[in-house]
């Protein structure tokens, strides 16, 4: 039930909705990464302790070597902040890192975190289409506009409220 890669040991069994590994034993659901840590160290986690993922791959069950380690909630938060994976309120802190789980399972930093409009790699629309969407909003419903431009109704709402494409 585990696929061993060069770095992580990836759980192939059941996972929680948040991606953490789990299994049932004697009718009780158990966190597989927590269980792995307790077995490897030979004793149970104490109240207030957690099995933390140093590698940031939620379904990794490898203990040690920067993967799963014993810590508190404060240790887990400090680890996330040090990696830029949690907001701190400090605008000079490193940008949040994202996980490219489908390719390598390793954290990556987006190349164009400040790209806007057509310069953004995920953009489906051009500036003239944004202007058209805003003009059509008086005549058509959001659903009709979305269908016409091949985008979601939510995307139309974000454009019209200027939460997206605010610079146009």
**Long-range contacts made by residues 84-93, C-beta under 8 angstroms, separation at least 24?**
84/109, 85/56
Could you read off the pLDDT of 127-167 as tens digits, one per residue?
899 999 999 999 999 999 999 999 999 999 999 998 888 88
Residue with the bigger pLDDT between 55 and 107: it is 55
Pure H helices in the chain: 32-41, 73-82, 127-136, 142-149, 153-160
Give this prediction's pTM. 0.55
pLDDT digits (tens, 9 = 90+) for 61-94: 999 999 999 999 999 988 888 887 777 666 665 5
Q: Per-residue pLDDT for 104 more than 90? A: no
**Parallel, antiparallel, or unpaired: how do β-strands 106-108 and 98-100 relate?**
antiparallel
How high is the pLDDT of residue 34? 95
Per-residue pLDDT tens over the stretch 4-58: 999 999 999 999 888 899 999 999 999 999 999 999 999 999 999 999 999 989 9
pLDDT score for 92: 63
Q: Is the pLDDT of residue 100 over 50?
A: no
Q: Are 69 and 52 in contact (CB under 8 A)?
A: yes
DSSP class of residue 63 equals B
Paired strand residues for 140: none
Whole-angstrom distance, CA of residue 107 vs CA of residue 18: 17
């Amino acid at each position: 039930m585990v696929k061993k890669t060069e770095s992580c040991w990836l759980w192939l069994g059941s996972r929680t909705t948040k991606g953490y590994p789990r299994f049932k034993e004697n009718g009780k659901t158990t966190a597989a990464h927590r269980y792995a840590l307790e077995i490897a160290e030979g004793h149970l986690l104490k109240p207030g302790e957690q099995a933390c993922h140093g590698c940031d791959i939620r379904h990794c069950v490898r203990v040690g070597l920067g993967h799963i380690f014993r810590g508190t909630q404060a240790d887990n938060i400090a680890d996330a902040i040090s990696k830029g994976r949690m907001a701190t309120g400090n605008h000079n802190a490193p940008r949040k890192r994202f996980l490219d789980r489908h390719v390598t399972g390793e954290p990556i930093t987006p190349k164009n975190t400040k790209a806007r409009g057509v310069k953004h790699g995920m953009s489906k629309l051009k500036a003239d289409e944004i202007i058209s969407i805003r003009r059509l909003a008086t005549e058509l419903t959001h659903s009709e506009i979305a269908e016409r431009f091949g985008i979601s109704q939510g995307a139309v709402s974000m454009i019209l409220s200027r939460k997206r494409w605010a610079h146009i």
